[in-house]
Amino acid sequence: MSDSTALHILAISGSLRSQSANSLLLKALSEMEPQLATFTFYEGLEDLPPFNPDKPQDILSVLHFRKLLSQSDAVIISTPEYAFGVPGVLKNA
């Protein structure tokens, strides 16, 4: 598969920790078949209003996130479980 036909995947780790298991899982996934897909790792989760209400709301971070979503063929979200389920912020997304 050539680069022009490779899938473009937006990878989102649901953990803000730099060495989280979720981030490591996404990194490993991106290295499995690099010729089949290109990965963009979204690093701005903490700048989005639902994830950090203490930060001033920045519309530019939301617009940037929406642009990345629109340019992607697929999105993979790797997130920690909370009380044996999906975290509330993700359920409300």
Determine the Cα–Cα distance for residues 27 and 92; give it in Å rounded to an integer: 26
Enumerate the domain spans of the chain: 3-80
For the cut 50, the answer to whether the pLDDT of residue 2 exceeds it is: no
Q: Kindly give the residue spans of alpha helices, DSSP state H, lying in the chain.
A: 21-32, 59-70, 88-91
pLDDT tens track for 25-80: 999 999 998 889 999 999 888 887 776 667 777 788 889 999 999 999 999 999 88
CATH fold label, 3-80: Rossmann fold (3.40.50)
Strand partners, 8: 38
DSSP assigned state of 77: E
- pLDDT reading at 10 higher than 80: yes
Within 10 angstroms of residue 38's Cβ, the number of other Cβ atoms is 14
